[in-house]
Structure 1
Amino acid sequence: VFEIPFNSTDKYQVGIHSFNGKHLLSLKGAPERVLEHCSTISIGLETRDLTDDIKSAYIQSCDVLARNGERVLGFADLELSKNLFPDNFEFTGDPPNFPLQNLRL
């Protein structure tokens, strides 16, 4: 439905997709940049608050993978309210007219 391409300043890409009759925002990019936009995390089938301990473990895990030569990306999502963002909503990116905070890691 809409995209903000990756750029080297923000270090993330945003996509808004039509999914099950709703809009789903996805954000992917540098793990530390993605983390800045998140307030919750999906663990198994649960969504939990993103605590300092979880943030620390996430950063440490990403660092270990990067030190071992792996490319590491962070992913986050947010289901957008159908009331605020109906099917015919015109998304814009400069500036974004949709939330980029309180995403789920």
Structure 2
Amino acid sequence: MRLLVGAALVGLAVAAGGSAHASEHADNRLTVGVGGIVVPDYEGSNDYVIRPAIGALARFHGHNIGFKGTSLSIDLVPEYRDQKFKIVVAPFANLNFDRSDTPRDPVVGLI
């Protein structure tokens, strides 16, 4: 199992305008998706396995959080209502399981 941590990502994005509310930050929200994917046991294999697929997007007090599979990112700069531009500074982490389990084909296991 490997843990890959990327450097902070910096970008500039145009933020969508919002309506006037009591809070100065953009609205809090949470979106979660759960499903399954079918992938080959290894590249070129005719044996397929079903794996879970999970993802989530959230905004909490103006900070955006994204989770997809084994990747996680958190925006450190809050988003405010009615701002024209948004600066994104976010650490990014990815957990790689290496798919080191034994393949069903014994010949491939010798590689």
Q: Same fold (TM over 0.5)?
A: no
Q: Which has the higher strand share?
A: 2
Q: Which has the higher helix share?
A: 1
| TM-score bracket for the superposition, by shorter chain length | under 0.3
TM-score by length of 2: 0.27
Report the structure number with the largest CA radius of gyration: 2
